[in-house]
């Protein structure tokens, strides 16, 4: 078997084994940490579609993470207060059903990505980074000043939303749900990366002139990637909100955007499973170094610097070598 | 149907005070290789960019297959059948040779927005790509990354990608630059046969190649076409000798 396949399998097994072990030894906090890693991994896999496959350096993916989070927050808030979301022309009630919340999170963040991408992708390079950052900051300050849904204090949801046939309040069952979604998202992105669209998107990343000479408009390819990317990160946001049973404007903050990008860079830009490794490493560091010092981000910074300077391919580049070009 | 495939009428382009194209008329007919020669800085690449769509002319029109394409984007012109090779290779360097060729075949087929079927398992695309690679003599290098190819091999791959597009006209910007004697000879044979498939507008520095291949030659000097004609006419043309060929002899 190829080294990368082995690494993928080992990574996914480890990510499954740790919470199972914690379940057996009755350590729910470890399960929560693993669930956090899985949700961050989904967010990173989403960003990787734009950043890795499309070469679009978005520093605004917190926006989609936050939109997903607030999709959950707002729907669940209306359900728990029994106040309909909309009264007119038809009554739409809130919901505590995860599948519906996920769908709403995916659709709203995809729509947000379509609008923001359509504007942002007219710029390139540092301007693109800045404009995506600016959009996320706009949402951040908007939610802070929006009293209907908690403003700066955020929204607390008292009971985790439900999924048919599962007890989502049981940590291991909620973990299993998130893990299943991660597998699904990985499968989708893996297929996209190898699809006609993925091949052409990669070509546009490497040479816009090439894509044009082949009759393609790079803008359309980028925008499609950006929408897929935003939708996946939005799903992660809804899960993250459900994990904490809390949403706040912090989800929109530029630190969140930075962290999602750190998952991708630590793991390996453009590698399908890279963000999973990156997010897992991030959680391990956050937990172990966070115990040493409140300022653990200093160490994270040093490690990130090391990766950028000496291991461009991230963990995957280090452990699995260069990506196989095609099979 | 006329024989006229590409018809460039009165194209002008200036950059500040520099007139890179001055009222240029140029035609490319079915079945011919039309070579565009001229000293460095004469405006050859500027002209080909205006034809391919990368630059918009200040004045004049580009008629392609009877259709005015002056206002169309590069991508739209490519879809209509302009197959371009670049002076500075613009291949996808991280991709393998085969992937680059498949990319061309995919671009030609046009169904890019498909997200689930593995593209490198598509038998039709692979067949088109492999045939083009065999034609240019790169069939043994399929699995090599493009960044690992020699300069000359990248040139060959550029041509192979253009072949997979099965275009209605080839626009080739110095395809032989940097090729060895053997490589040039091979490519000349290839281009010689290619004109039956689609006419070629060939920008080339290699005079031996141009005189051996071209049906017609246009000479561009300081943004103006000073002569157009057959090989013999161009050889005999006094203006061309002083403005261009003479310089070469002096050098």
> What span, in angstroms and rounded, lies between the C-alpha atoms of B172 and A22?
64
Confidence of residue B183 (pLDDT cuts 50, 70, 90): confident
pLDDT score for A217: 96
Q: Do A213 and B84 touch (CB under 8 A)?
A: yes
**Closest CA–CA distance from residue A210 to any residue of chain B (Å):** 6
> What span, in angstroms and rounded, lies between the C-alpha atoms of A283 and A266?
12
CATH of the domain at B60: 3.40.50.300
Residue A327 has pLDDT above 80, yes or no: no
pLDDT score for A292: 82
Q: Is residue B194 part of a domain?
A: yes
> What span, in angstroms and rounded, lies between the C-alpha atoms of A120 and A61?
13
pLDDT tens, position by position, A22-81: 999 999 999 999 999 999 999 999 999 999 999 999 999 999 999 999 999 999 999 999
Residues 6+ apart with CB under 8 A from B240: B219, B226, B227, B234
**Same domain, yes or no: B99 and B28:** no
pLDDT tens, position by position, A146-190: 988 999 999 999 999 999 999 999 999 999 999 999 999 999 999
pLDDT score for A297: 87
Residue A119 has pLDDT above 50, yes or no: yes
pLDDT score for A321: 82
**Same domain, yes or no: B41 and B95:** no
Q: N- to C-terminal Cα distance for chain A? A: 13
Question: How far is CA B74 from each of CA A217, A288, B22, B68, B201, rounded to the nearest angstrom?
Answer: 9, 53, 22, 13, 17
Residue B249 has pLDDT above 80, yes or no: no
Half-sphere exposure (Cβ direction) of A123: Cα atoms closer than 13 Å: 13
Identify the H or E element spanning A260. Answer: helix A254-267
Residue (of A304, A308, A262) closest to A48 by Cα position: A262
Residue (of B3, B53, B43, B2) closest to B23 by Cα position: B43
Cross-chain CB nearest to B78 (options A200, A212, A325): A212
ipTM of the complex: 0.90
pLDDT tens, position by position, B213-237: 999 999 998 899 999 999 999 888 8
Chain B residues with CB under 8 Å of A217 CB are 73, 75
State the DSSP string of chain B.
--SEEEEEEEEEEEETTEEEEEEEEEEEETT-EEEEE--TTSSHHHHHHHHHTSS--SEEEEEETTEE-TTS-HHHHHHHTEEEE-SS----TTSBHHHHHHHHHHHHH------SS-GGG-HHHHHHHHHHHHHHT-GGGTTSBGGGS-HHHHHHHHHHHHHHT--SEEEEESTTTT--HHHHHHHHHHHHHHTTTS-EEEE-S-HHHHHHH-SEEEEEETTEEEEEE-HHHHHH-HHHIIIIIHHHHH-
**Same domain, yes or no: B61 and B177:** yes
pLDDT score for A140: 97
pLDDT tens, position by position, B149-165: 988 889 889 999 999 99
Q: Is residue B10 part of a domain?
A: yes
Residue B203: strand pairing partners: B36, B173
**Closest CA–CA distance from residue A314 to any residue of chain B (Å):** 17
Contact yes or no for B145/B94 (Cβ under 8 A): yes
What domains are there in chain A, each with its CATH number? 3-320 (1.10.3470)
**Same domain, yes or no: B148 and B190:** no
**Same domain, yes or no: B249 and B187:** yes
Rounded to the nearest integer, the mean pLDDT of chain A is 94
**Same domain, yes or no: B50 and B172:** yes
Residue B1 has pLDDT above 60, yes or no: no
Contact yes or no for A256/A91 (Cβ under 8 A): no
> What span, in angstroms and rounded, lies between the C-alpha atoms of A2 and A6?
6
Q: Is residue B86 part of a domain?
A: no
pLDDT score for A50: 97
Strands B59-64 and B224-229: unpaired
To test the contact with chain B by mutation, choose from A187, A189, A201, A210 the residue with the greatest count of B C-beta atoms within 10 A, namely A210
**Same domain, yes or no: B242 and B121:** no
Chain A residues with CB under 8 Å of a chain B CB are: 191-192, 194-200, 202-203, 206-207, 209-217, 221, 224, 325-327
Half-sphere exposure (Cβ direction) of A112: Cα atoms closer than 13 Å: 28
Q: What pTM does this model have?
A: 0.93
Confidence of residue B244 (pLDDT cuts 50, 70, 90): low
Residue (of B106, B170, B97) closest to B134 by Cα position: B97
pLDDT score for B236: 86
Q: Do A326 and B99 touch (CB under 8 A)?
A: yes
Q: Do A196 and B111 touch (CB under 8 A)?
A: yes
pLDDT score for A186: 98
Contact yes or no for A229/A46 (Cβ under 8 A): yes
pLDDT score for B251: 40
**Closest CA–CA distance from residue B90 to any residue of chain A (Å):** 6
List the single residue in B with minimal CA-CA distance to A203.
B92
The residue among B112, B139, B166 that closes a domain is: B166
Percent of chain B whose predicted confidence (pLDDT) is above 90: 67
> What span, in angstroms and rounded, lies between the C-alpha atoms of B82 and B199?
10
Q: How many domains would you assign to chain B? A: 2
pLDDT tens, position by position, B33-57: 999 998 888 889 899 999 999 899 9
Residues 6+ apart with CB under 8 A from A228: A46, A49, A110, A192
Cross-chain CB nearest to B92 (options A191, A192, A207): A207
Confidence of residue B2 (pLDDT cuts 50, 70, 90): low
Question: How far is CA A180 from each of CA A19, A26, A32, A146, B157, rounded to the nearest angstrom?
Answer: 14, 22, 15, 34, 43
Residue (of B220, B231, B206, B217) closest to B152 by Cα position: B206
Chain B residues with CB under 8 Å of A221 CB are 112
**Same domain, yes or no: B179 and B241:** yes
Residue A229 has pLDDT above 80, yes or no: yes
> What span, in angstroms and rounded, lies between the C-alpha atoms of A87 and A35?
36
Residues 126 through 145 of chain B touching chain A, CB cutoff 8 Å = 143, 145
**Same domain, yes or no: B215 and B158:** no
The residue among B149, B166, B183 that closes a domain is: B166
The residue among B147, B166, B185 that closes a domain is: B166
**Same domain, yes or no: B47 and B71:** yes
Size of interface A-B (CB pairs under 8 A): 110
> What span, in angstroms and rounded, lies between the C-alpha atoms of A59 and A258?
7
pLDDT score for A1: 64
Residue A191 has pLDDT above 50, yes or no: yes
Cross-chain CB nearest to B91 (options A194, A207, A224): A207
pLDDT score for B185: 87
Using DSSP, state whether A92 is helix, strand or coil: strand
pLDDT score for A322: 80
**Order of strands across the sheet that contains B33-37:** B82-85, B169-173, B200-203, B33-37, B216-221, B224-229
pLDDT score for B176: 85
Residues 90 through 129 of chain B touching chain A, CB cutoff 8 Å = 90-96, 98-99, 102-104, 106-108, 110-120, 122
Chain B residues with CB under 8 Å of A327 CB are 120
Is any Cβ of chain A less than 8 angstroms from the Cβ of B52?
yes
List the single residue in A with minimal CA-CA distance to B84.
A213
**Same domain, yes or no: B139 and B249:** no
Q: Is residue B34 part of a domain?
A: yes
Query: What is the span of the domain harbouring residue B115?
Result: 91-166
Classify each residue of B11-20 as buried b or exposed e, where b means 16 or more C-beta atoms within 10 Å of its C-beta.
bbbeeeeebb
To test the contact with chain A by mutation, choose from B78, B80, B107 the residue with the greatest count of A C-beta atoms within 10 A, namely B107
Residue (of A244, A233, A307, A298) closest to A277 by Cα position: A307
> What span, in angstroms and rounded, lies between the C-alpha atoms of A106 and A109?
5
SS (HEC) of A171-227: HHHHHHHHHHHHHHHHHHHHHHHCCHHHHHHHHHHHCHHHHHHCCCCHHHHHHHHHH
CA B212 vs. chain centroid, Å, equals: 17
pLDDT tens, position by position, B76-114: 999 999 999 988 878 999 999 999 999 999 999 999 999
**Same domain, yes or no: B172 and B249:** yes
pLDDT score for B250: 45
Residues 6+ apart with CB under 8 A from B206: B176, B177, B184
Residue (of A223, A240, A185, A186) closest to A68 by Cα position: A240
């Amino acid at each position: 078997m190829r080294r990368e396949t082995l690494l993928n399998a080992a990574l996914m097994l480890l990510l499954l084994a740790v919470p199972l072990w914690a379940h057996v030894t009755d350590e729910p906090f470890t399960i929560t940490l693993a669930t956090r890693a899985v949700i961050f991994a989904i967010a990173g896999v989403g960003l990787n579609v734009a950043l890795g496959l499309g070469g679009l350096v978005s520093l605004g993916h917190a926006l989609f993470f936050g939109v997903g989070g607030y999709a959950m927050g707002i729907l669940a808030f209306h359900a728990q207060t029994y106040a309909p979301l909309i009264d007119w022309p038809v009554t739409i009630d809130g919901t505590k059903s995860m599948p519906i919340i996920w769908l709403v999170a995916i659709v709203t963040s995809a729509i947000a990505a379509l609008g923001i991408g359509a504007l942002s992708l007219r710029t390139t390079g540092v301007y693109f980074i800045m404009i995506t950052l600016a959009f996320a900051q706009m949402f951040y300050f908007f939610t802070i000043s929006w009293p209907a849904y908690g403003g700066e204090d955020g929204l607390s949801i008292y009971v985790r939303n439900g999924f048919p046939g599962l007890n989502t309040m049981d940590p291991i069952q909620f973990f299993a749900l998130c893990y299943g979604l991660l597998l699904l998202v990985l499968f989708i992105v893996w297929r996209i990366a190898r699809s006609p669209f993925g091949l052409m998107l990669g070509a546009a990343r490497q040479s816009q002139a090439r894509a044009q000479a082949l009759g393609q408009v790079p803008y359309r390819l980028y925008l499609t990637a950006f929408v897929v990317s935003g939708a996946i990160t939005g799903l992660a946001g809804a899960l993250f909100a459900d994990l904490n049973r809390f949403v706040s404007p912090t989800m929109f903050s530029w630190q969140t955007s930075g962290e999602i990008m750190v998952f991708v860079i630590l793991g390996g830009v453009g590698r399908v499973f890279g963000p999973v490794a990156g997010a897992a490493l991030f959680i391990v560091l956050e937990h172990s170094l966070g115990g040493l010092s409140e300022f653990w981000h200093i160490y994270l910074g040093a490690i990130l610097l090391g990766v950028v300077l000496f291991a461009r391919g991230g963990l995957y580049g280090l452990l699995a070598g260069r990506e196989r070009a095609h099979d | 149907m006329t024989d006229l495939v590409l018809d460039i009428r009165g194209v002008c382009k200036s950059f500040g005070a520099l007139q890179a194209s001055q009222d240029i008329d140029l035609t490319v007919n079915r079945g011919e290789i039309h070579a565009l020669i001229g000293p460095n800085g004469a405006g050859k690449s500027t002209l080909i960019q205006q034809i391919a769509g990368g630059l918009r002319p200040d004045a004049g029109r580009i008629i392609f297959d009877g259709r005015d394409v002056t206002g169309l984007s590069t991508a739209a012109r490519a879809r209509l059948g302009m197959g371009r090779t670049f002076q500075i290779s613009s291949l996808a360097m991280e991709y393998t040779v085969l992937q680059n060729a498949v990319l061309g075949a995919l671009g030609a087929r046009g169904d890019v927005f498909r997200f689930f079927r593995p593209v490198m398992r598509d038998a039709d695309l692979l067949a088109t790509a492999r045939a083009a690679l065999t034609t240019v003599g790169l069939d043994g290098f399929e699995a090599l990354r493009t960044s690992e190819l020699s300069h000359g091999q990248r040139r060959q791959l550029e041509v192979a990608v253009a072949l997979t597009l099965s275009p209605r006209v080839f626009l080739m910007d110095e395809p032989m630059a940097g090729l060895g004697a053997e490589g040039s000879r091979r490519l000349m044979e290839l281009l010689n046969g290619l004109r039956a498939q689609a006419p070629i507008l060939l920008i080339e520095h290699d005079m031996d190649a141009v005189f051996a291949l071209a049906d017609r030659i246009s000479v561009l000097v300081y943004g103006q076409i000073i002569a157009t004609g057959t090989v013999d006419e161009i050889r005999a043309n006094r203006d061309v000798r002083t403005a261009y060929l003479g310089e070469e002899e002096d050098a």
